[in-house]
Structure 1
Amino acid sequence: MRYLEDHFTPVEEEITAYDLPVTGRIPAELSGRYLRNGPNPASVDDARTHIWGMGQGMVHGVRLRDGRAEWYRNRFVRVPGYAPMVHVIEHAKQIFALAEGGLPPARLDDELNTVGFAELGGTADGFTAGAHSKRDPLTGELHSLSYMPGHDFVRYTVTDTAGAVAETVAIPMTRTPFLHDFALTENHVVLWDTPLGFDGFECRWLPQHPTRVGVMARSGGDVRWLDIDPVHVSHTLNAYDDENGVVVDLVTAQGPFDPADPGAIRPVLDRWTITPDKVHQRRIDDRPQDFPRINDAFAARPHRYGYSAATALYGIPFSSEGAPSDEVFTNALVKHDLLRGTTQVHAFGRDEAVGEAVFAATGQAEDEGYLLTYVHDPRRGAADLVILAAQDFTGEPVARVHLPARVPLGLHGNWLPDRAGVAA
């Protein structure tokens, strides 16, 4: 029942609202749409056995332009048989809702209505773009790793700026892993094979299965595998190449991991430096956090800043660095300065609920821009779109856009800055 109640309660109605009320000032340089996807089951056969992430997806969006919040829309992702509810991205001037594994994405129009199935990253054996497909900001290409139960390989695919498959590689595996995310650098693809995987068509933690990390050149070729102690990998912050090897910042947790209860783990932020013969692991921050993001202009290249969420999904208190012992939060955003090894915490009210925050760049400096996230406001019984200045992270939000509906805690999204010809 946990993932159908409180901050997870599904929304039943699709809503369109215009000229939204705002507290504060929306920065005039923010012109685009903030979209976020997540599970929103329209109906559940048995609430006692419901798994978060099953059922329909719903995309929530706010359109910002000229210092105004022009509209809010929420729309079910309407494809039969499965749920593209993990992510929402823009590629080749189209919007896609992404599903787990290698299942086809759904294509959305500019008003978030479902157009139909999409062949984004589609290959002859039925694989398509994965849930955490990553865009290289310098080439504009989209890189994906996809898996499907019953297949003893995962598929790496590169989709060009026009949406056509430019390269694809089948990577042999000993069984089908649950490969929710991966890492990308300028020259390499990094993946992991953990105890979480498929036994037939059932996804479960298999403690006897070894944990290993693989590194492959983006041009393909053999994968170099290195063994590490058992660990669950949640999400990647970013990765890059340097003189020491391949550096990956990512969220990990000790197992076992139960797909039916994703909030039962304690995720932390780590750094892996992968050399030819070893994965060197270092804890960056041992406080519970997840949903890490960066300024995507620095994706696959060296980064200094990262942002993560201490979210009610896990329900674990998060202490503010250097704060009194009673200053703990279950809802906060965290800014990591990975060069200095420091953090800043922006806490929300005890009964509010915050999820992933995305970075909207407005300048050339890495932290020149804003963080956008949905925060449930229990006083109104609805959500706000909260806008924080990245360079004044602990200060008051520059704006709170008051939405007319709840936004359940969900998964991933993106800031889609305006492109030529977009009038929605």
Structure 2
Amino acid sequence: MSVIAPTGSDRPLLTGGAYDPVQVETTAMDLRVTGRIPEWLDGRYVRNGPNPIGAVDPATFHYFMGDGMVHGVRLRGGRAEWYRNRWVRSADAAKALGEPVPPTSGVSVAANTTVIGHAGATLALVEAGGTCYALTDELETIGSWTFQGTLPGGYTAHPKLDPASGELHAISYRFDQPGFVQYSVVDPRGRARRVVDVPVAGSPLIHDMGLTEGHVVVLDLPIEFDLARAMRAVGVPERMIGPGSKVASKLIGRVPAGGRLADKAASRLRNGDMPYSWSPEHPSRLGVLPREGAGAAVRWFEIAQCFVFHVLGAYDEVDRDGMVTAVVVDGIRYDEVFVNDDRGPEGATTRLTRWRLDLVTGRASETTVDDRQQEFPRIDERLMGRPYRFGYATGLAPDGTGTVDDRILKHDLVSGTTESHSLGEGVEVGELVFVPRAPDAAEDDGVLMGFVHDGATGADRLELLDAASLESVAQVHLPARVPHGFHGNWLPA
């Protein structure tokens, strides 16, 4: 154990159990394994999530906020060589831990949403203009990452890797830049070769995107930057919210957001309130932009009011003559979110939904694929942007609390069937990623991998499941609890 964060008796159990943050960094070698880890697995499973350092205010704390903590397990030769968890040392996180601030630039919010590998780097990512951070293979923070100076203004939590070109596609947004979002393409060397401003309505939260062989899909949906909420979060007196927000709204986008004011705001928001909320007046629409098109070339398709955090996949629909006639998008649909409880997605109803955006008629159609509560959808990412058959998702508790349960859902988009598999009563399943057995393996020939929590014993493990049958292959028993977080990936050696 290397670092214990400062704590106080007033630090709340935010949601209790598997969601409660840990305050210790742990390193453990030669982990105990049940079953047999496939010999062909050689790499690291890494996952990021919010884990506040020290005390936070339960009245304002939002589940999406909190200092980023990356957890990782190294697999090689049928062994689990190590487990590590490390806070991402943003400037504020380093200060909270009493450490020197690593080389950093940009807005110091918590990089707490995902962790990916690209251009030989391990990157902790967040959205809304926050700084990306590069990590070592052992998950120590090196410093901020700006894609070799080509994307200094923050990035996204959900870039999409094109398996053919090796390029990373992203839709990024910032609260202080209303009216447009940024589409970027990063080459395999880690430099942006293309950056395009795409017009949108207001200042929407855009957590994910769709990618096809010829297009990107922009999610312009009704969660918007809430200026009054942000002002409360950074300590503006209530009597000043009304007049202050009118002045500030006129300045946003005209006055640079950097400097001490932005740093102070980011610091106050780091482990607290999220300055975005449901805005029913905001349109619900999906934009289709040609990959090499100008921002103004985006075509908007109106859809029924909803919100989508996560896209399962997307692809171009082609007719007999080879012409693209429609774009198909599959994602997890919320009727609304952050309405009754604005500290998290509790109370929301989800379902896997398909939108078909007809490029000939200009109309969108919507179909429910599976109406069970679910989240964290993933496909075989060798098929990113291409037609796919299988999709995987984590079941959510049917009581509408927004918490994960013991189910794994495997969707067959060709047959239209869904298989539900339970890991056992009391087990809570996090996001699972698919790892193919070999580069040319069949679409579900490989393993699903992710952290799970056993509510009966309080123990956590890295679960490996056969992707075809959903039966257990191996369980890596972890020496520490892994709080439920957000997104993980398999980074091959």
Please say if residues 47 and 489 of structure 2, whose CA atoms lie closer than 8 Å, have aligned partners that are also in contact.
Answer: yes
Q: Distance in 1 between matches of 2:130 and 2:313?
A: 24
Specify the alignment match of 2:53 in structure 1: 42
| Pairing of 1:353-368 with structure 2 (within 5 A) | 353-363=428-438, 364-368=441-445
Long gaps (5+) in structure 2: 1-11, 92-107, 231-274, 319-324
Equivalent position of 1:321 in the other structure: none
Aligned partner of 1:260: which letter? R
Q: Spell out, residue by residue over 1:18-39, the C-alpha distance to the aligned partner (whole angstroms, 9 max, x if none).
A: 1111111111111111000001
Residue 55 of structure 1 aligns with an amino acid whose one-letter code is G
- Asked if 2 retains the 8 angstrom alpha-carbon contact of 1:44 and 1:50, the reply is no
Letter in 1 for 2:327: V
- Structure that is richer in helix per residue: 2
**1:317 shift after superposition:** 9.5
AA matched with 1:148: R
Of 206, 218, 238, the residue aligned with 2:279 is 206
What is the CA–CA distance in structure 2 between the aligned matches of 1:339 and 1:239, rounded to whole Å?
Answer: 14
Q: CA deviation at 1:348?
A: 2.2
Matching of residue 383 in structure 1 with residue 460 in structure 2 = yes
Matched residue of 2:486: which SS?
Answer: coil
State, as a whole percentage, how many aligned pairs show the same letter. Answer: 45
Q: Report SS of the residue matched to 1:392.
A: coil
Instruction: Give the one of 33, 41, 49 matched to 1:22.
Output: 33
Partners of 2:433 and 2:448 within 8 A in 1 = yes
Following the alignment from structure 2 to structure 1, what is the Cα–Cα distance between the partners of residues 332 and 153?
26
Separation in 2, partners of 1:108, 1:225: 38
1:293 and 2:304 matched: no
Instruction: Give the CA deviation at 1:166.
Output: 0.4
Q: 1:303 to 1:192 in 2, by over 3 A?
A: same
Cα gap change, 1:121 to 1:169, in 2 (>3 Å): farther
Cα deviation per residue 1:142-177 (whole Å; 9 max; x = unaligned)? 111110002121000101010111001001223111
Please give the secondary structure, in 2, of the residue aligned with 1:398.
Answer: strand
Conserved? CA contact 2:150–2:191, under 8 Å: no
* Separation (CA, whole Å) in 2 of partners of 1:109 and 1:315: 40
Residue matched to 2:344: 261
Aligned to 2:356: 273
Which stretch shifts more, 88-97 or 226-235? 226-235
Deviation at 1:256, TM superposition (A): 4.1
TM-score (norm. length: structure 1)? 0.91
1: distance between equivalents of 2:67 and 2:20? 13
Matches within 5 A, 1:305-344: 305-311=390-396, 316=400, 330-344=405-419
Determine which structure has the larger strand proportion and give its number. 1
Contact 1:146/1:154 (<8 A) preserved:
yes
TM-score with structure 2 setting the length: 0.79
Q: Distance in 2 between matches of 1:25 and 1:61?
A: 19
Instruction: Check conservation: 1:4, 1:47, Cα contact below 8 A.
Output: no
Q: Does the CA-based 8 Å contact 1:235-1:251 persist in structure 2?
A: yes
1:316-349, Cα deviation, whole Å (9 max, x unpaired): 499xxxxxxxxxx932111111101111122123
2:96 aligned with 1:85: no
Paired residues of 2:328 and 2:355 also in contact (CA < 8 A):
yes
Give distance in 2, aligned partners of 1:191 and 1:247. Answer: 13
Q: What is the one-letter code of the residue matched to 1:19?
A: D
Q: Work out the CA distance in 2 between the residues paired with 1:228 and 1:122.
A: 37
Distance change >3 Å, CA 382–CA 182, structure 1 → 2: same
Quick check: 1:311–1:355 contact (8 Å CA) kept in 2?
Answer: no
Work out the CA distance in 1 between the residues paired with 2:63 and 2:282: 25
Q: Tell me how many residue pairs correspond in the alignment.
A: 404
Distance in 2 between residues matched to 1:127 and 1:311, nearest whole Å: 34
Farther off after superposition, 139-148 or 72-81: 72-81
Partner of 2:332: 251
Q: Say what the alpha-carbon RMSD is for the aligned residues.
A: 1.9
Secondary structure of 1:330's match? Answer: strand
Partner of 1:410: 485
Task: State the Cα distance separating 1:253 from its structure 2 match.
Answer: 0.8
Cα separation, 1, equivalents of 2:377 and 2:207 = 14
Q: Deviation at 1:311?
A: 3.6
Q: Output aligned runs, 1:384-403, within 5 Å.
A: 384-393=461-470, 395=471, 397-403=472-478
Q: Deviations over 1:183-231 (max 9, x none)?
A: 0101001012111111335311111222111110000221111212210
